[in-house]
Structure 1
């Protein structure tokens, strides 16, 4: 079986190549990848090369396939797993393996297992961990985006709160409490707004900040203040760029009590220090956005840590249960992961997109691995449609779905642009 894949050979060294996959063993599964969304974590791995903890030392000789937010269809099942999986079955995947303590994971560490490929071999540890998940939804993009949504959900679950005089940690955000999402209008922040408004453990107040009016306007269009009220959440959008003292302004929104749960979605020192300053009693700060600088630091008020007491933690991903929760909520229409997506492209767009990811505005970049198409902003479909009937129809489909990507758009794309 031949595959086309984007492989990592070293720092900033990505190559789109065609090569032969070996025959699968009895404990492996051959699969066709349909969709993958490009993660900033992949950019970090590409920039660092084999200095990244998940990337093997010998990638120059044994390159690895990048991409870990993917979904597809099972093609062939090894004997060991034939009782559980069948050809033609659609799948989603939880990539945070941590198998027997190993840091290796798809998209970073495997020569035949990653999301930016047409065909892949899924190794036995994925099935052994229960991380190959059956997917019955209509659009593959929702299964791809279940991974970043699971990271958002995992962040909500990993926050914790305490009781004075008792040695207990109550896991999860404060139900009916006060929550802030700082730098919260990027793709992960939008997913967090969606989840906060529609999960079974909602805050009573949700404050979302950013420094860009256009991002804030898009967030408010997707999640109006009125929708927050319908779900019992008092929703505020705040541009902190022009505020003389943003921490004081944000804390005043809580009538001076501070926030129970604060999430930081950008690795910016001033944002972290604001987050620390607006915590209330027993408030938990979740530093979600991972920096590339191994010496990245910010000041923390340890007087508050000792006496208030405030908590600081980091979360980087979800587990299989978080993935299942994301898939179930999507299937029920409670959340719509498409709010994250602003660009769509084919496998041939992966290298340039990944290498330039921080400079490309907007949210998630969704790629279809059996499609050839330059990365295109959804908002540009209409303009391109003036000369290209394909984009004209795609623009009309998107408009029918509130300007968002959808299963209908995916179906049209695959019907007209697939090369496999």
Structure 2
């Protein structure tokens, strides 16, 4: 079985190659990859190469396949797993294995297992740990995006609150409480809004801040506050904090001065972290979601409030398998729409460059369909490109009917028609 895949040979050395996969062993599974969304973690692995903790030191002679936000179809099942998996089933992947203390992970460490490929082999530890997940939804991209959504979900579960007079901790955000998502109009922030509006511990108020008016306007188009209030009973407020001389005072005024029960920080910026600390209410939880690259990153915290106001800080990196299962089930039931994160779509030929230039071209999630060749293209540019390419014109028509979002209909059209 031949596969076509993007492989990492060293620092900034990604190559799109075709090569032969070995026959699977009795404890392995062969899969066809259909979609893979690009993660900033893949960029970090590509930049660091063998200096990355998960990338093998000998990747220059034994290159690994990148990509870990992946979904597709099961093609062949080893004898060990015949009772659990069937040929033709759709799958999603939880890449955070932590197998027997090893850092090895799909998309970072394996010669034959990664998302930026047409076909891949799932090693036995993926199935042993329950990380090859059944998926019954309509669209492949939704299963790919279950991984980043699981990171968002995990953070919501990790937030906690205390009980006055006892040492009991109550996990999760406060139901019916006041929630702020700072720097939250980016792709992961949009996912966080979607989950907050539809999870089983919904807040009564969600305030989303950013300093980019265009991103805030797009967010308000995807989540119109009037519709949210009507359908969900939640007050959704978008705030451009750059417009206020004292943004902390304004944000607190939205809570009548009481402050917020839960604050998520979606950018590793000192001023944003400190702003989050200052708007916490009593027993408020500051969840530092954004992963900094600076190992010395720090910010001021009001310890008077820690002592007398019971404020506290928590952080997570990634989600677990249960978080991913929750993401998949909510997506299958149409409770959340991971497409809010997607701004670009392309083929496997665009994956290497899109990965290496990820920070240079700020955008939402970039979605790769591994079975086609297509330049990485912004959904917002479909209409213009449609003037010379009828496929882009059709995709523009479909996404325009869907508030400018990628969707199952667009995916189906792309997979059935691109290249014809």
TM range (shorter): over 0.9
Q: Deviations over 1:108-151 (max 9, x none)?
A: 11111111011111011111111111111111011111111111
Question: SS of the counterpart of 2:16?
Answer: strand
**2:321 paired residue number:** 320
Question: SS of the counterpart of 1:208?
Answer: strand
Question: SS of the counterpart of 1:241?
Answer: helix
Instruction: Spell out structure 1 runs of 4+ moving beyond 6 A.
Output: none
Question: SS of the counterpart of 1:387?
Answer: coil
**2:295 paired residue number:** 294
Question: SS of the counterpart of 1:166?
Answer: coil
Q: Deviations over 1:304-350 (max 9, x none)?
A: 22222211111122222211211221122211111111100001111
Alignment of 1:302-381 (within 5 A): 302-381=303-382
**1:15 paired residue number:** 15
Question: SS of the counterpart of 2:173?
Answer: coil
Alignment partners' CA distance in 2, 1:157 and 1:132:
22
Structure 2 portions without partners, runs of 5+: none
Alignment partners' CA distance in 1, 2:403 and 2:316:
31
**1:416 paired residue number:** 417
Alignment partners' CA distance in 2, 1:74 and 1:126:
14
Maintained 8 Å contact 1:159/1:286: yes
**2:2 paired residue number:** 2
Residue 115 of structure 2 is aligned to residue 110 of structure 1 = no
User: By how many angstroms is 1:250 displaced?
Assistant: 1.2
Alignment partners' CA distance in 2, 1:260 and 1:298:
20
User: By how many angstroms is 1:227 displaced?
Assistant: 2.5
Residue 259 of structure 2 is aligned to residue 246 of structure 1 = no
**2:155 paired residue number:** 155
Question: SS of the counterpart of 1:167?
Answer: coil
Question: SS of the counterpart of 1:299?
Answer: coil
**1:101 paired residue number:** 101
Question: SS of the counterpart of 2:184?
Answer: coil
Alignment partners' CA distance in 2, 1:263 and 1:110:
34
Question: SS of the counterpart of 2:306?
Answer: helix
Structure 1 portions without partners, runs of 5+: none
User: By how many angstroms is 1:285 displaced?
Assistant: 1.0
Maintained 8 Å contact 1:370/1:418: no
Alignment partners' CA distance in 1, 2:109 and 2:31:
18
User: By how many angstroms is 1:58 displaced?
Assistant: 2.2
Q: Deviations over 1:328-373 (max 9, x none)?
A: 2112221111111110000111111111111223311001011100
Alignment of 1:100-179 (within 5 A): 100-179=100-179
Residue 280 of structure 2 is aligned to residue 279 of structure 1 = yes
Alignment partners' CA distance in 2, 1:272 and 1:115:
33
**2:271 paired residue number:** 270
Instruction: Sort the Cα spacing of 1:369 and 1:177 in 2 relative to 1 into closer, same or farther, 3 A.
Output: same
Residue 256 of structure 2 is aligned to residue 255 of structure 1 = yes
Maintained 8 Å contact 1:176/1:204: yes
Maintained 8 Å contact 2:391/2:418: no
Alignment partners' CA distance in 2, 1:324 and 1:67:
20
User: By how many angstroms is 1:158 displaced?
Assistant: 0.8
**1:46 paired residue number:** 46
Alignment partners' CA distance in 2, 1:27 and 1:214:
50
Alignment partners' CA distance in 2, 1:51 and 1:61:
15
Alignment partners' CA distance in 1, 2:61 and 2:268:
33
Q: Deviations over 1:219-262 (max 9, x none)?
A: 00110111221212111100112322222221221111111111
Alignment partners' CA distance in 1, 2:307 and 2:23:
58
User: By how many angstroms is 1:418 displaced?
Assistant: 6.2
User: By how many angstroms is 1:13 displaced?
Assistant: 1.6
Question: SS of the counterpart of 2:301?
Answer: coil
Q: Give the alignment's Cα RMSD to 1 decimal.
A: 1.4
User: By how many angstroms is 1:302 displaced?
Assistant: 2.1
Alignment partners' CA distance in 2, 1:118 and 1:321:
27
Maintained 8 Å contact 1:35/1:368: yes
Maintained 8 Å contact 1:44/1:292: no
Maintained 8 Å contact 1:197/1:233: yes
TM-score by length of structure 2 reads 0.97
Alignment of 1:218-233 (within 5 A): 218-230=218-230, 231-233=232-234
**2:37 paired residue number:** 37
